[in-house]
Structure 1
């Protein structure tokens, strides 16, 4: 029976190719589908097929549909992956990265110079995300006391960054809209 199904496949191949190419819109993909068909026919060597021509057309149509579905899924997956990638502007350039690192060192230095309670309140609120009421309970002060500690902590950090910007000759300025200012 294998010789019969193989012979019918070879005789019908031009029509099968046209059918699959029409469904996929691409002759190269159609050739790949017919190659897959050839491998499947080889696996069916010992099984009788009642209507071999109809069987071959059904296999070709099913493989074309499978390939089209796989291509759609692959395209959707690739699109989602590409959409999740950062844009070129989202990736910091070397200069912005160096400025950010220098500013972070200044922030760490400012926190290290703060009184213990102030630094603790800032870390608990900003880093650990604890509510001010929990911080107040832990430190044994009121919520407004925590708010005042945080305000003074922010002011110390702001002042340290501003002083650093002045000391560096205005190479960068905290809060500037257009990025780092250039000293000219």
Structure 2
């Protein structure tokens, strides 16, 4: 009768059998003296145990669902080629900044990284706002040129790799 109660409350026989086993372990710990109504006591322990298991299962499901929502989809993960290209582009940007005149690099860092307004940058460098705008335009142009050159180098490397692969295949 206890197994039927647990199956009805938990929805399947496997969980009910596990709960019944847990119930006997719990009763062994609870029973210190004689029980006035043993059948009612057993049914109450079984019902409480089933309720505890349902609550725990609901919490576990909500926790797991919340965790899954925070995980990126496989489509969001970068593939190795995209990772390689991103690293190559980052290195190209760092090289371009490294080759810039000091004032140009300083203006770019203050504007893009420190998010300072152009007026503040102009005051720091002792130039006009128009001068800051021109420095930033030239800095962006240097970065774009470096990235274009980097893209051309990557395309050339891919072409050579394809040619080597075709030579190996033949």
TM class by shorter-chain length? 0.7 to 0.9
Equivalent-residue separation in structure 2 for 1:159 and 1:23 (angstroms): 69
TM-score normalised by L of structure 1: 0.76
Q: CA 1:28 to 1:168, structure 2 compared with 1: closer, same or farther past 3 Å?
A: closer
1:116 and 1:19, CA in 2 relative to 1: closer, same or farther beyond 3 A?
A: same
Distance 1:112 1:71, change over 3 A: same
Equivalent residues, number: 160
- After TM superposition, the structure 1 = structure 2 runs for residues 52-71 of structure 1, keeping only pairs within 5 Å, are 52-71=38-57
RMSD: 2.2
Please show how residues 1-184 of structure 1 align to structure 2 within 5 Å: 15-169=1-155
Moved more, 108-117 or 47-56: 47-56
Unpaired runs of 5+ residues, structure 2, are: 164-170
- Which structure's residues are more often helix, by fraction? 2
Q: Secondary structure at the match of 2:31?
A: coil
**For structure 1, which segment, 25-34 or 146-155, has the greater mean C-alpha deviation from structure 2 after superposition?**
146-155
CA distance in 2: counterparts of 1:29 and 1:150, whole angstroms: 67
- Larger RCO, structures 1/2 (Cα 8 Å, 6+ apart): 2
Normalized against structure 2, the TM-score is what? Answer: 0.82
Unaligned stretches of 5+ residues in structure 1: 1-14, 173-182
Contact 1:165 1:171 in 2 (8 A): no
